Amino acid sequence: MKLSQGINVERLQQRIMALGEIGKTQSGGVTRRALSSEDKQGHQLVIGWMQELGMNVRYDHFGNLIGRLEGNLPDMTPVIIGSHIDSVKNGGKFDGVIGVLGGIEVAQTLCEEGFSHTRPLEIIAFCEEEGSRFNDGLFGSRGVAGKLNEADLLKKDEQGITRLEALQNFSNQIQPKNMEQSVLKKGDVHAYLEMHIEQGPYLEAEELPIAVVTDIAGPHWMTITLDGEAGHAGTVPMHLRKDPVPAASEIILFIERLCNMPDAKETVGTVGILEAVPGGSNIIPAKVRFTLDLRDIDLNRREDLFKRIVNKIQEVCKKRGVDWNIEEGMRIPPVSCSHRITSLLLKAMEDIGLPSKKMVSGAGHDAMLMTEVTDVGMIFVRCKKGISHQPEEWADAGDIAKGTETLLAAAKVLLNE
């Protein structure tokens, strides 16, 4: 079956399922962490599909895989369609993947139709979007935006392998010492498009297959450590304790209340890791460590909430005789997608008979960093029950095809601008 614009639904679905076999887990999920042997196998499969349709394929020095379909004027700046194919541990088949394979389907359809375009088209699979190996995401897109430093290369995985070593072992084309050569500047790219599963329940609730993203929330990651005083659970009276667990509990509940305020509808705060040290059932902990992922599409509001959280930490810790420390992690401002490209995508949706729906993204994506380089447009595809990063993650082939058809229509305009 083909859609009106020529998208081959079966081919696209077969490729998604084939890539989902690489790193497949017993529960039906996917573990394909960045720069691993499974990631390498996935790249080889994608490279094969790119080369079948005549794309020139290369790696940049951040480990981003790039396939290029030349235009009639190769010196013009390219239109890029991209996402990622790395996964979290025991994640799903669709996260990131539909953006890369949808981009390849767009390129293949252009070739099959004999579509004449002046600008080159590039399809990119960014390196380590998920951050599940070296514990910080968006590596490849941060790289092209010029936002990496030596510390990013020296981060280690659980086996003590540095990212630098992993990059060097992945392909001899990747030379991290030459990373500056792969940084993109304003004017190097004509436009960037990305398609991704929604990873939330909104589109399913609205009974819509796709929507166009207008804004992407910016994440502020941190690790908060509270240092108390260890003791025997049976011999230290309650009023003499310096217990960091109740302190952490107060702070975490405050964060929940803060992010539930009526004027903070787009604000979310998540404590994903919570650890008590030394961790004995009959020991008052000496230390509590927890992470906080704070996100918002309004940077001023996010920064104000962060200040209020810090003030609360100071207040609680002073009251309980506990010391505190905040280790800063990734801190990316929220971004808005290009109004021009958003309008182009909405028009493409209307042309194929779909409601022109807009929405915001609470999750971070490579598109966030590409706004540093060029105009960006993004499409969300409905996913079942909003489930993502789990084996149950699912998006229907027809919905993905509608998103890809919208990408194709927009790409045809952009490639001849």
- Shortest CA distance to 64 belongs to which of 98, 90, 39, 89? 39
Please give the pLDDT value at position 136: 86
**Which residues are registered as beta bridge partners of 81?**
123, 193
For residue 314, what are its two tokens?
Answer: 């100071």
pLDDT for residue 281 is more than 80: yes
Please give the pLDDT value at position 266: 85
Q: What are phi and psi of 386, to 5 degrees?
A: 70, 15
pLDDT for residue 138 is more than 50: yes
For 59, other C-beta atoms within 10 Å of its C-beta total 21
| Mean of pLDDT values over 258-274 | 92
pLDDT band at residue 409 using 50, 70 and 90 as cut-offs: very high
How large a percentage of the chain has pLDDT more than 70? 99
Please give the pLDDT value at position 6: 81
2 is a domain residue:
no
Task: Give the C-alpha separation, 69 to 76, whole Å.
Answer: 12
Please give the pLDDT value at position 1: 40
Domain boundary among 297, 331, 365: 331
Task: Give the C-alpha separation, 174 to 158, whole Å.
Answer: 22
- Find all residues with CB under 8 Å of 315, minimum gap 6, and list them: none
For residue 126, what are its two tokens?
Answer: 């960014």
Stretch among 116-120, 230-234, 352-356 having the lowest mean pLDDT: 352-356
Tens digit of each residue's pLDDT (9 = 90 or more) over 114-137: 999 999 999 999 999 999 999 888
Domain boundary among 316, 331, 346: 331
In this structure, are 236 and 211 located in the same domain?
Answer: no
In this structure, are 136 and 28 located in the same domain?
Answer: yes
258 is a domain residue:
yes
With residue 293 as reference, give the H or E element that holds it: strand 287-296
Please give the pLDDT value at position 330: 82
* Domain harbouring 66, CATH code: 3.40.630.10
CA triple 205-209-210, angle to 5 deg:
105
In this structure, are 262 and 207 located in the same domain?
Answer: no
1 is a domain residue:
no
Would you give the DSSP letter of residue 24? B
pLDDT for residue 26 is more than 90: yes
pLDDT band at residue 2 using 50, 70 and 90 as cut-offs: very low
pLDDT band at residue 329 using 50, 70 and 90 as cut-offs: confident
102 is a domain residue:
yes
Amino acid type, 14: Q
**Which residues are registered as beta bridge partners of 294?**
220, 269
Stretch among 32-36, 78-82, 214-218 having the lowest mean pLDDT: 214-218
DSSP string, 34-46: TTSHHHHHHHHHH
| Mean of pLDDT values over 94-123 | 97
Task: Give the C-alpha separation, 133 to 400, whole Å.
Answer: 28
135 is a domain residue:
yes
pLDDT band at residue 265 using 50, 70 and 90 as cut-offs: confident
Tell me if 87 sits within 8 A of 32, measured CB to CB: yes
Task: Give the C-alpha separation, 393 to 87, whole Å.
Answer: 12
Residue 200 CA, distance from chain mean position: 14
Tens digit of each residue's pLDDT (9 = 90 or more) over 197-211: 999 999 999 999 999
201 is a domain residue:
yes
- Find all residues with CB under 8 Å of 17, minimum gap 6, and list them: 93
In this structure, are 269 and 390 located in the same domain?
Answer: no
> CA end-to-end span of the chain, whole Å?
30
Please give the pLDDT value at position 3: 46
Task: Give the C-alpha separation, 162 to 153, whole Å.
Answer: 7
* Domain harbouring 226, CATH code: 3.30.70.360
pLDDT for residue 96 is more than 70: yes
> Domain range spanning residue 294?
218-331
Please give the pLDDT value at position 74: 93
Domain boundary among 331, 346, 362: 331
Question: Count of domains in the chain?
Answer: 2
Tell me if 222 sits within 8 A of 371, measured CB to CB: no
Task: Give the C-alpha separation, 78 to 304, whole Å.
Answer: 39
Amino acid type, 297: I
162 is a domain residue:
yes
In this structure, are 29 and 109 located in the same domain?
Answer: yes
Task: Give the C-alpha separation, 233 to 132, whole Å.
Answer: 36
Would you give the DSSP letter of residue 309? H
Task: Give the C-alpha separation, 86 to 139, whole Å.
Answer: 11
Tell me if 382 sits within 8 A of 210, measured CB to CB: yes
pLDDT for residue 247 is more than 50: yes
pLDDT for residue 4 is more than 60: no
In this structure, are 22 and 68 located in the same domain?
Answer: yes
| Mean of pLDDT values over 132-161 | 95
Tell me if 76 sits within 8 A of 416, measured CB to CB: no
Tell me if 358 sits within 8 A of 344, measured CB to CB: no
Q: What are phi and psi of 222, to 5 degrees?
A: -155, 160
Tell me if 137 sits within 8 A of 34, measured CB to CB: no
With residue 299 as reference, give the H or E element that holds it: helix 299-320
pLDDT band at residue 361 using 50, 70 and 90 as cut-offs: very high
